[in-house]
Amino acid sequence: MRTVQYITEGLVNLFQKKRVLTLAMIMQALGTTVKMTAFRKLKTLSYRASYSHSGRYYTLNEIARYDEYGL
């Protein structure tokens, strides 16, 4: 079995500081240049992508806050 090479702890800390990240910021925090690796790690964290801006911005479900209209 392969060992875990990309640890998400640093990524979670960055999300707590910045709240919203781009894919480039996520890849940099993980130390990878591969988009698929970033998406695999995001999937384990229960994330949300922006509806507008072609899904360019990402946040964690636990960080996202919505008003009574869902905005």
Please state, in angstroms and rounded to a whole number, the distance separating the CA atoms of residues 63 and 10.
16
Ramachandran angles phi, psi of 15, nearest 5°: -60, -40
Give tens-digit pLDDT for 17-39: 999 999 999 999 999 999 999 99
Where are the chain's structural domains?
Answer: 9-60
Give tens-digit pLDDT for 35-68: 999 999 999 999 999 888 888 999 999 998 888 8
**CATH number of the domain at 9-60, please?**
1.10.10
Please state, in angstroms and rounded to a whole number, the distance separating the CA atoms of residues 14 and 25.
9
